[in-house]
Each structure stands twice: as C-alpha cells, then as structure tokens.
Amino acid sequence: MKPIALTIAGSDPSGGAGIQADLKTFHQFGVYGQAVITLLTVQNTQNVFDVQVLKPGFVVAQIQAILDDIPPQAAKTGALGTVEVVEAVADMAQHFTFPLVVDPVMISKHGAPLIAAEARTALLEKLLPHARLVMPNLHEAAALTGLTVETRDQMEAAARSIFDACGCNVLVKGGHLAGVAMDLLLLDGKALHEFPAERIDTLHTHGTGCTYSAAVTAGLALGLPLPQAVRSAKEFITEAIRTNPGLGQGCGPVNHHARNHLYNE
C-alpha cells in the first residue's frame, strides 16, 4: 500500500510554500499527498497582499471527508489563521490514529502575519498536546515560550519549556543562528539530537519551513523513527536550498525536485 500523508495548511498561489510546497515534497518522497486548505493567500516571491481564512466548519468537513475514505499514515499542519481554526483542528487531532507534525507558522517570509496573536495560546494548549512533533524556528520558539531564543542553549531551554507545557517532541530550527545551521530535537523530554548543516548564502528560501516539515511528515508516513525522519528531511531541505531554481523577483522558492536518500523517481 502506498504511504499517504496529509497537509492541513494554507495555499500559496506562487507554489513555493503552503500546501503546494507540501504536496511537491510528499511526491518527491514517494508519498501520496492529500491537502486540506485552511486559508487562501494572495502572494508571490515579493510580498503577501491578502489572506482569507476559511470557516472552521469547512476545514473540519475537509478533514472528515479524508478520514472517512483515505486515512493517512501521517499528517502536518501549517498556517491555521485563527483561534477558531486552531481549536477546530485540535478537536479533530485528538482522534487521529497517526502522527501529527505541527509547523507553527506565524509569519510569512515577507513578514505578513499568518496566525492571530491570540491563537498562539490555543496552539500551545490545545493542538500541541496531540502532536508527535512541533517544529518552531527561533522566532516561533520565542513567541511560544516568551523566552529569548538566539543561541544553542536558549534553543534547548525553549524546547524543554514547550515539552513541559504540552508533552510533545520539539525540533527547534536554528536557521537564523550565527554560524552553522543547527537544529535541535528534544525527544521524549530527555534525549537531545543535533542536526547541523552548512549555511548556504542565498535569498531563495521561500517555503523552507513548509518543505522541511512536509519532508518529516513524509518520513513518518514511510514508517521511519522520528530522529531518522528528521535527519532525512534535514538533508533534503539543505539540498533543496542549495539547488534552488532562482525563480521570481524576490525571495524565491527552494528546489522541490532535490534528490533525497529515501526515494527518487
């Protein structure tokens, strides 16, 4: 049976982020992709011009339709938009029989807000307790914890704070750290795994978080243990950034056709 992964996220018409990036990534890992849309954006590589969040009931109906017919082996969330959508997805997630990866998307690469400020509490208190993994970047880790997150030790402190609050595994992404691009995984509140990678000097990093979390989700759908799923995803996103196609007049997308060690057509 072909592995199946679900993304619950927003739409990026320029194709670099959101469900478009997720579905491309799933495909590149040999995983059948499904997509529940939470919000629509008007954006390109230069700016986000508008965001329209869908009604919570419509989001729930999409999820239920998938669960009733083709349930996935893993799922992820991206931009959710409002408290109401976060709570609606959280209500569904408590019944998921498959692992959930949460990418706590808060702002776009261009600085546009993609979740209401008051929804952060709902994210931490209601959705994350049902997640296998949450993947905040430094800014998102700081927003979720109220801590300063600028160093490796502060990443660990933030990860432990999030685990203490919700009990899920935490991968703090260090893409904005000085020096090596090192991510830190806190597994079961105990073991720490570091995932360093070369820092690539490029403007074209649009959709990096979406693509990375989709790659982790694909790995889980393939049955990989979490640390291995993160490692394969880290290798993929590093190569995707390194080989970016240079599209657009602004912050362009990564290369969703990058090779990976798990599957290549």
Catalytic (active-site) positions? 173, 205, 207-210
- Nearest partner of 232 among 243, 216, 255, judged by Cα: 216
Q: Annotate 209-240 with b (16+ C-beta within 10 A) or e (fewer).
A: bbbbbbbbbbbbbbebebbebbbbbbbbbbbb
Q: Which residues contact 173 (CB under 8 A, 6 or more apart)?
A: 135, 136, 137, 138, 183, 209, 212
The residues that bridge with 192 in the sheet, in sequence order, are: 186
The residues that bridge with 195 in the sheet, in sequence order, are: 183
Distance of CA 64 to CAs 38, 93, 97, Å?
14, 11, 13
Structure tokens at 4: 């199946």
Question: Rounded to whole angstroms, how far apart are CA atoms 211 and 76?
Answer: 11
- Nearest partner of 256 among 247, 98, 67, judged by Cα: 247
- Nearest partner of 219 among 161, 171, 147, judged by Cα: 171
Structure tokens at 124: 């931490």
Question: Rounded to whole angstroms, how far apart are CA atoms 128 and 145?
Answer: 13
